[in-house]
Amino acid sequence: MSLDLKVKIGLEVHCQLTSLKSKLFCGCSSNYRGKPPNTCVCPVCLGLPGAMPVVNRKAVEMALLIALALNCKIAKTTFFARKNYFYPDLPKNFQISQYDLEGGEPLASNGYVTFTVNKTRKTVRIRRIHLEEDPGKLVHPGGIGVSPYTLVDYNRSGIALVEIVTEPDFESPVEARSFLQKLRSILEHLGVFDGSLEGAMRCDANVSVEGGGRIEIKNISSFKDVERALSYEIIRQKDLIKKGVKFGMETRHWDETKRVTVTLRTKEEEQDYRYFVEPDLCPIVIGDELIEKLKKEMPELPDARKERFIREYGLPEYNAEVLVGERALADFFEECVKIYGKPKPIANWLMGDFLQCLHSLDVSVSQCKVKPEHLADMLMLIDKGDISIKIAKKVLWEMMKTGKTASVVVEEKGWRRITDEKFLLEVIGKVFQENSKAVKDALVDGKAIHYLVGKVMEITKGMADPELTNKLIREKLAELKND
């Protein structure tokens, strides 16, 4: 049997609306990260009896903005529904979510997203978008295998989540990953989401390989892991198919430490969630005026920004694509252009050494110590001839680690290029004295001059201006010849 079997992947992405100040149904702060457990909680998000939820208006507007950006059809009327299941991360024993119901739909449906993968454009369909609340967080001190109990922190309980469900339109793990990156950039450009926050975007995936069953993978928390989990699962399924093993629908869990998927016995099926309309929340009627208002407020999205980068800054398409792939990076680029003025070298540095440094230090663009003015300062030092490209790379690395400006790094490290003729002539004089044989060789053979230049570089720790050094040595040799 050929292993060239067709693969179909669909994603269910959960994004926190991290730009909100408060939770979806109560006034608790949504800024729960790093806070002691159970300090951002109230009767509503703890599910205490009698507590009444009220919808955050801004959350609905942000979700609608996302729906518009993903080209979705917006519902006229939408309801919240209770999804019932027992798990300690849900204090009410139900999650307030949305569901297809007679007379009401999820917030939005039938959209699409276009993205680039391996330099080709690909479009995937969005099935639906809805709002729901995030559950709390379970903690197992010492690891899930060791801890004798489960600890629960409800600070995250009730945080506004937007669930985005795609059709099974992806044909490979890398497509799924590229889509998520594009989605992240769109959400960041909308100003509703900060993807650098841990756990702000989580995702479930379903995979089916031709001839097999539909497998769901739960609990994937990073882009890299989406690709890994899907690749693992595809290989596993192809292997089963090759061996002739029959398998049906199943839910599996991604173990990010062992990097395998493991079977997850869920006895709950869709009908077991016993969805019904949330009686404590009124329906939401979405008027045309609101949609028009949101359309007017729609900020520039990555595709438009990419086109503008090509047009306005003369960047190659690929560079523009990479820069707008992350809002913070595109913002950094434009800030830097304002100061330094030459877009192309900025783009090259950002896409090369800058991203490499970030990657090795494992920090995001916004966390990074180098700011646009710092990079501009470094580029000006190159232009003035104070540092070479080679030294600039070292300078950038130092700036990343210390947060110092390029000028300070260059001064402190003594990395300024030496262009002082008097000083260089002194060094050359010394080199000539100590290397009389090399001098004799150089008088006969022009190529032997490299040895002398190398000696000067050695003494000046590579800081001597190479062109100037070369010129001065040639002049000195010419003098010797004439004597």
Partner 1 sequence: MGEKEKHISRSQVEHLAWLARLELTEEEKELYTQQLNEILEYFNRLSEIDTSNVPPTYHVIGKVNVFREDEVQPSLKTEEALKNAPRKRNGFFEAPKIL
Give the burial class of 166: count Cβ atoms within 10 A of its Cβ; 0-12 exposed, 13-18 middle, 19 or more buried.
buried
Whose Cβ is closer to partner 1: residue 81's or residue 336's? 81
The verdict on 5 binding partner 1 (CB under 8 A) reads no
Fill in the per-residue mask, 44 to 83: x = in contact with partner 1 (CB under 8 A), - = not in contact. --x-------xxxxxxx----------------x-x----
Q: Give the CA distances from residue 169 to residues 65, 150, 166, 350, 372, in Å, rounded to whole numbers and listed in that order.
A: 23, 38, 7, 33, 39
The verdict on 197 binding partner 1 (CB under 8 A) reads no
Q: Which does 478 bind (CB under 5 to 8 A by kind): Zn ion, partner 1, none?
A: none
CB of 267 to partner 1, least distance (A): 7
- Alpha-carbon distance of 83 to 76, in angstroms, equals 22
Q: How far is CA 313 from the centre of its chain?
A: 23
Find the binder of partner 1 among 33, 76, 85, 304 (CB under 8 A): 85
Give residues 21-80 in contact with Zn ion (rule: CB under 5 A): 26, 28, 42, 44-45
Whose Cβ is closer to partner 1: residue 154's or residue 254's? 154
Helix/strand/coil for 215: strand
CB of 200 to Zn ion, least distance (A): 19
Task: Please work out, in degrees rounded to the nearest 5, the angle formed at the alpha carbon of residue 329 by the alpha carbons of 328 and 332.
Answer: 85
Q: Which does 148 bind (CB under 5 to 8 A by kind): partner 1, Zn ion, none?
A: partner 1
Q: Which residues of 9-21 are buried (b: 16+ CB within 10 A; e: fewer)?
A: bbbbbbbbbbbbe
The verdict on 480 binding partner 1 (CB under 8 A) reads no
Residues 6+ apart with CB under 8 A from 412: 404
- Alpha-carbon distance of 265 to 250, in angstroms, equals 8
CB of 22 to Zn ion, least distance (A): 8
Find the binder of partner 1 among 18, 22, 97, 261 (CB under 8 A): 22
Give the burial class of 177: count Cβ atoms within 10 A of its Cβ; 0-12 exposed, 13-18 middle, 19 or more buried.
buried
Give residues 271-330 in contact with partner 1 (rule: CB under 8 A): 272, 274, 277, 279, 281-285
> Where along the sequence are the contacts to partner 1 (CB under 8 A)?
20-22, 26-29, 36-43, 46, 54-60, 77, 79, 84-88, 101-104, 138-140, 147-154, 267-268, 272, 274, 277, 279, 281-285
